[in-house]
Amino acid sequence: MATVSNPRDPNTLSNYNNWRSAHITANFEILFEQKKLVGNVVHRFRSTTDAQSKEIILDTSHLDIGEIKVDGQPSKWELLAPLEPLGTPLKISLEKGVEREGMIEVDIAVKTTDKCTALQWLTPAQTSNKKHPYMFSQCQAIHARSIFPCQDTPDVKSTIDFNITSPLPVKTSGLPLQKSSEAQSGNQLYRFNQSVPIPSYLFAIASGDVSEASIGPRSVVATSPDKLDECKWELEADTENFINTIEKIVYPYAWGQYNVLILPPSFPYGGMENPIFTFATPSIISKDRENVDVIAHELAHSWSGNLVTNCSWEHFWLNEGWTVYLERRILAAIHGEAYRHFSSIIGWKALTDSVEHFGHDHEFTKLITDLKGKDPDDAFSSVPYEKGFNFLFHLENLVGKPKFDKFIPHYFTTFKCKSLDSYEFKATILDFFKSDAEASKLLNELDWDTWFYAPGLPPKPQFDTSLVDVVYALARQWQSLPESSFKPQASDLEGLTANQILVFLEQILRWEQPLRPELSKLMGEVYGLSKSENIEVANLYFQVGMKAGDQSVIEPTAELLGRIGRMKFVRPLFRNLQKINRAVALETFEKYKEFYHPICRAMVEKDLFGKKEN
């Protein structure tokens, strides 16, 4: 094979420096009873070197591969030795090389297997109305390779046609085309097109008993029919407002429609920014519109991540740090600048928790991480989100907000439909401000290497605390018990948002001396926290209780762990539950492990059984 420079992404085994997938056609039938996707995938590859490579190497993981054709003719292929955690490379041999910019078409027959890590199959009993099965994909970070052979790297982007056959409605990360009937067994063919090039991790399919309702002029929410009205109410007040707001900050929305699919409760993330259809956790449907910030975040990904993408998971902060930054700019425009600082204070607590979990000197607490030979899922935490945000917030304060505001659309125009690394980001901002002597001097004097490579916490900014001071004061009153005359009453929380209540609970979690068990129980009773329908609130209250040694929260914690599969809640709850009662933690995990998504299940196993990456 011709030698080429090393690719920028260490988490792919593909030779994507020789070939680039320009277009993918995915033809799949969804077989619910067998829990498989069956069909074929057609790649149009463009040669990118003069060396005329005679082999294409693709990422795969636990796939059942059938015939492979190159330009319509059967081709020789073999699976090379597996290299975990990156899967098994697929080598396709070509009769002859292809000149630079030349195109070839590779058609691969493929079935997923029961070891597929990207798909979750739910029985009717695991859905909200318990009538039909359900399936959905989650390809980030390196799980697309367990659905079909691909260049599973964010450094490659392709347009995609989806042709999906299913007995139940289908949603994908493409715009719907017409639906045509199929003769056999009541199946329908659902067709979609994604005309904006996207990386493999944004390949998305879901199918189940879902209905749609409008939540704006270019948006629908899709979910189980029995949940449709409450989901519509939760999202219709804010979605279009969010879109209009961010369009003023960056530039117009590029994807046509912005829709939200509210998934069953075992979905492992708050949201997944799949283009056209954000996949979202039902935990945002809190019946108080207090958790829709998740939608602001996933919407912001339409620019940061989906249009402008980190070239590898080592530079994940470029996706998530920018997205948190834009999310908070949306919130500031709608609720005021103090709210942006308030949200940042909540984020700082999450960052502190992640750094303490890994350890202050851990590789995964750096802005740019070394993921060679590692599973990117193991590095997943709030670090790229919040340390990335704090870096951008620092740059904004360094050059001044009005100047930084002009850089934002420039950055997103420069790298539109491209992938980049942190060094290109640095070069771009230095170049943008080179004619501004003051800003240029400040940026060139900045200690970039410390920001990029130092582990642990960055310098803490001076946040506006006006929205947290009231809850800090309330937390201090609880800290004064039982010595003081403070008598907790339900009215203590009057006028506070759910997010302010979260900060109150986070303050208590921070205490070196935990709350006494009887006071934790009193707090739950007086404030109604243990019965809150807002999972964000209930989850934090249970953590406070477990840290306090309050036995009364063990049972509701175990019950909540059977209702929600979002890792943000599941992992900390299990970590705390095993500290107060390991037997109950293990029993609860055993009871619900099939309910959790494979990614979530694997991470909780590492938390509970000590298989943590170093």
Annotated binding site for Zn(2+): 297, 301, 320
Q: Are 579 and 545 in contact (CB under 8 A)?
A: no
Catalytic residues: 298, 385
User: Cβ neighbours of residue 34 under 8 Å, at least 6 residues apart?
Assistant: none
Which residues are known binding-site members? 138-140, 268-273, 297, 301, 320, 566-568
Q: Are 270 and 380 in contact (CB under 8 A)?
A: no
| Strands, sheet with 88-93, edge to edge from the N-terminal-most edge strand | 55-60, 88-93, 77-79
- Residue 74 pairs in a beta bridge with 69
Residue 242: C-alpha distances to residues 100, 293, 328, 382 (Å): 43, 10, 11, 23
Q: Are 362 and 612 in contact (CB under 8 A)?
A: no
Q: Are 274 and 294 in contact (CB under 8 A)?
A: no
Assign residue 383 a region: left if phi > 0, alpha if psi is -120 to 50, beta otherwise? Answer: alpha
Token output for 429 = 């901002």
CB-based burial label for 201 (10 Å; 0-12, 13-18, 19+): buried
CA distance 281 to 265: 6
- Find the helix or strand (DSSP H, E) in which 517 lies: helix 517-527
CA distance 236 to 251: 22
Token output for 233 = 């109410």
CB-based burial label for 99 (10 Å; 0-12, 13-18, 19+): exposed
DSSP annotation of 388 reads H
Residue 297: C-alpha distances to residues 256, 323, 326, 430 (Å): 18, 6, 8, 27
